[in-house]
Amino acid sequence: MANVTLMGEGPGAILEGIVLDISERKRTEDALRARETQLRQIGDNLPEGVIYQVVRRRDGSNYFPYMSAGLERAFGLLPGEAVSNPDAVYRLILPPDLVRLRAAADESIRTGDPFDVECRLRAPDGTERWLNIRGRPSSLPEGATQWDAVALDVTGRKRAEEQLQLLKERYRQLFERSFVGIFRTRPDGIVIECNDAFARILGCPSADAMRGESVIAYYATPADRDAVVMKISAGEDVVDAQLTARRPDGSLVPVAMSARRVTDRDGPVHEGILVDLTDRKSAEEAHALRSVAELANAAAHEINNPLAVIMGQLDLVRRDQEDLLGRLEVAQTAATRIRDIVAHMTRITRLETAAAGSPSLPRMLDIRRSGPDED
């Protein structure tokens, strides 16, 4: 760059001037333009996002000095539309979320801190999207505030979070509503977590009442607890182990337990399920009793046939052999007794344990009276 001045007139005039080298300034300006172009290209090609500047005037109105080309690709709105008509952008944001966004901007102005807020946007095609908007404020003359901001489409992440939350809710309902007892305990037996079914099986009022309590006292046989812990500690799973639990009121309940050892943020943990076998045991006993009754009935029918022959033959002998009357009377009495027993067996429909022997029950069917130790 040269600054030249003509001194005097005619042939004797003198030129005076200053020559400045502006090469460095030109290089700086070129570098700045290249840097600006690079930043614009980055902003325009930001995947599923927009880089922009927004200014809040003192009167509360907003405008966009700059908006990257990503606005059209991500949200279907031309950057020029946003710059010329800011309301076109804000109309896309759902009203409740727009209130939160403005509140976050107000707080940013008050504190001078950046804002970070998530809000929903309804794109021109009708789809609902989630944005994560972050902006750093700077003060402008006349009380205005400008944010250098970025808006990222986080719809995929939000959908994944919603799905995860749904799965957690379903698991919670399954955990709480299951008729099977579910538990997690420390290796020393202290309950970390359980559901109400687990508490109910063990005779406790609720899961809350069991948390922090030890399960050791609920084993009717302490050796069962030792065997379970030994197997789990060896890295083996306990599968459908049939045990007897003792409730706080002293009553016993048959249970089946499956458990394993895992390690999580709480350290080593025993987790598993507990099933009340009372109904199953009752069904098994009922089935066994029905089998006994069916066997008794079948035996009675089998005995009845030869018994009828014996009694018929005895009656013939009695009529033909008067001298054997005494002995035959005894035999016939015994046979009659057998007949009565058989008749009693055919009427068996259920079995139960009596507190004492029944005097009307034949001795051979009375377990208490027919044992080897009876006199």
Residue 361 has what pLDDT?
A: 45
Contacts of 53 (CB under 8 A, 6+ apart): 64, 65, 66, 67, 146, 147, 148, 149
CATH number of 180-276: 3.30.450.20
| Residue 221 pLDDT exceeds 70 | yes
The predicted model scores a pTM of: 0.51
Contact 52, 66 (CB under 8 A): yes
Confidence grade of residue 145 (pLDDT, cut at 50, 70, 90) = very high
Q: In what order do the strands lie in the sheet with 267-276?
A: 191-194, 181-185, 267-276, 252-264, 238-246
| Residue 10 pLDDT exceeds 70 | no
Q: How far apart are CA 233 and CA 178, in angstroms?
A: 27
Residue 321 has φ and ψ, to the nearest 5°, of -125, 85
Which of 5-9, 36-40, 255-259, 288-292 has maximum average pLDDT? Answer: 255-259
Beta bridge partners of 346: none
Contacts of 188 (CB under 8 A, 6+ apart): 214
For residues 79-93, one letter each, b for 16 or more C-beta atoms within 10 angstroms of the residue's C-beta and e for the rest, the string is beebbeebeebeebb
Mean pLDDT of 159-165: 91
**Averaged pLDDT of the chain:** 79
| Residue 11 pLDDT exceeds 90 | no
Q: How far apart are CA 110 and CA 108, in angstroms?
A: 5
| Residue 131 pLDDT exceeds 60 | yes
Residue 31 has what pLDDT?
A: 57
Mean pLDDT of 306-313: 67
Tokens of 135: 């902006």
Residue 363 has what pLDDT?
A: 46
Residue 277 has φ and ψ, to the nearest 5°, of -95, 5
Query: Per-domain residue ranges for the chain?
Result: 1-44, 47-159, 180-276, 281-370
Contact 264, 244 (CB under 8 A): no
Residue 224 has a CB neighbour count (10 Å cut-off) of 16
Residue 122 has what pLDDT?
A: 87
Mean pLDDT of 159-175: 87
| Residue 309 pLDDT exceeds 90 | no
Torsion angle of C-alpha atoms 366, 368, 374, 375, degrees rounded to 10: -60
- Specify the fold of 47-159: Beta-Lactamase (3.30.450)
What tens digit of pLDDT does each residue of 185-217 get? 999 999 999 999 999 999 999 999 999 999 999
Residue type, 325: L
Of 153-157, 313-317, 347-351, the poorest mean pLDDT is in: 347-351
Query: What is the percent of the chain with per-residue pLDDT over 90, rounded to a whole number?
Result: 43
How, if at all, do strands 49-56 and 145-153 pair? antiparallel
Q: Residue 183, SS3?
A: strand
Q: How far apart are CA 245 and CA 222, in angstroms?
A: 10
Residue 358 has what pLDDT?
A: 46
Confidence grade of residue 316 (pLDDT, cut at 50, 70, 90) = low
What tens digit of pLDDT does each residue of 281-302 get? 666 666 666 666 666 666 666 6
Q: How far apart are CA 262 and CA 271, in angstroms?
A: 7
What tens digit of pLDDT does each residue of 29-78 get? 555 555 555 555 555 556 678 889 999 999 999 999 988 887 877 677 88
Phi-psi region of 352 (alpha: psi -120 to 50; beta: other; left: phi over 0): beta
Asked, colleague to colleague, whether 47-159 and 180-276 share their fold, the answer is yes
